[in-house]
């Protein structure tokens, strides 16, 4: 299982004089499920991109089980255990479902694909093209693809935003099950506090740009949890009574 430490002094984009992220410092424990909530445009995707190595900045300190890495996990030859699920499924439209997963595997691992498709309920759709699938089915393919490499660290960027409520609920449960089976360490970006309470062990609240951590809460509710269950709603109400500033644009 993987522990991740993140320390970012400030992150600027080339075309802007305003920092996107500032003084961000946190650790994600092995197997922990952390949700990140913040206003639109505050830099949540930028943060995931920095953790994955798609973006970087001077003075960043990222470490992965106490080994520092500068170039990002995606570029670290020894570490192939990063999964990244984006808002859009990002499937190759000219490849079948099976071929989309084969793309990131070695041929001697192709035997895993049937089992993965069965786990996401797509055992009969392996030969379909993405255009023949619904949005929820495409997202399930991207989940199967992310889990194909057996990620020890999984980054998710508002993956369930565009789905209808029952499909999103099913996929949240699937995510919880897959992560629990494998001990995956997870960072999940969302703007939905109820979703964060349902999924996470800890919620990190970020401020507007330049974005930093304004609050962290351990979600000390037993599992399995309920979406909009009484205990979950009470927990949310208590949080907002105690920290009313979190209402200022930080949640739905």
Ligand X SMILES: Nc1ncnc2c1ncn2[C@@H]1O[C@H](COP(=O)(O)OP(=O)(O)OP(=O)(O)O)[C@@H](O)[C@H]1O
Shortest distance, CB of residue 162 to ligand X, whole angstroms? 12
User: How many residues lie near ligand X (CB under 6 A)?
Assistant: 11
Q: Is 89 in the site for ligand X (CB under 6 A)?
A: no
Helix, strand and coil content of the chain, in percent to the nearest 5, comes to 35, 20, 40
Strand partners, 43: none
How far is Cα 30 from Cα 79, in angstroms, rounded to an integer? Answer: 16
Question: Closest by alpha carbon to 99, among 124, 119, 127, 136?
Answer: 127
Applying CB under 6 A, which of residues 1, 13, 71, 248 lies at the interface with ligand X? 13
Shortest distance, CB of residue 205 to ligand X, whole angstroms? 12
Do 38 and 206 meet the contact criterion of CB atoms below 8 Å apart? yes
How far is Cα 137 from Cα 89, in angstroms, rounded to an integer? Answer: 9
Q: Is 252 in the site for ligand X (CB under 6 A)?
A: no
What one-character DSSP code corresponds to residue 154? Answer: E
Our CB check for ligand X shows the closer of 54 and 79 to be 54
* Six-digit token string for 119: 């786990």
Residue owning tokens 């500032």: 22
Applying CB under 6 A, which of residues 4, 19, 42, 120 lies at the interface with ligand X? 42
How far is Cα 157 from Cα 18, in angstroms, rounded to an integer? Answer: 23
> Binding mask 15-34 vs ligand X (x if CB under 6 A, - otherwise)?
x----x--------------
Shortest distance, CB of residue 55 to ligand X, whole angstroms? 8
Q: Per CB under 6 A, which region of 44-52, 58-66, 219-227, 244-252 contacts ligand X?
A: 44-52
Applying CB under 6 A, which of residues 25, 41, 70, 183 lies at the interface with ligand X? 41
Binding site for ligand X (CB under 6 A): 13, 15, 20, 38, 40-46
């Amino acid at each position: 299982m993987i522990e991740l430490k993140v320390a970012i002094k400030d992150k600027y984009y080339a075309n802007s004089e305003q920092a996107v992220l500032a003084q961000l410092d946190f650790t994600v424990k092995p197997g922990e499920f952390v949700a990140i909530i913040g206003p639109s445009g505050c830099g949540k995707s930028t943060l995931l991109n920095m953790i994955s190595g798609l973006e970087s900045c001077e003075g960043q300190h990222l470490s992965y089980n106490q080994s520092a890495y500068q170039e990002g996990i995606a570029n670290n030859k020894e570490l192939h255990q990063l999964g990244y699920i984006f808002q859009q499924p990002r499937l190759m439209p000219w490849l079948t479902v099976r071929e989309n997963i084969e793309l990131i595997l070695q041929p001697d691992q192709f035997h895993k694909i049937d089992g993965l498709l069965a786990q996401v309920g797509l055992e009969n759709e392996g030969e379909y093209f993405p255009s023949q699938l619904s949005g929820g089915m495409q997202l399930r393919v991207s989940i199967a693809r992310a889990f194909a490499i057996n990620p020890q660290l999984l980054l998710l960027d508002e993956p369930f935003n565009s789905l209808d409520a029952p499909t999103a609920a099913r996929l949240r449960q699937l995510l919880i099950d897959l992560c629990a089976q494998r001990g995956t360490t997870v960072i999940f970006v969302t703007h939905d506090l109820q979703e964060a309470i349902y999924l996470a062990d800890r919620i990190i609240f970020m401020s507007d740009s330049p974005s930093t951590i304004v609050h962290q809460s351990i979600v000390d509710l037993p599992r399995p949890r309920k979406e909009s269950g009484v205990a979950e709603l009470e927990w949310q109400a208590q949080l907002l009574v105690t920290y009313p500033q979190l209402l200022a644009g930080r949640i739905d």
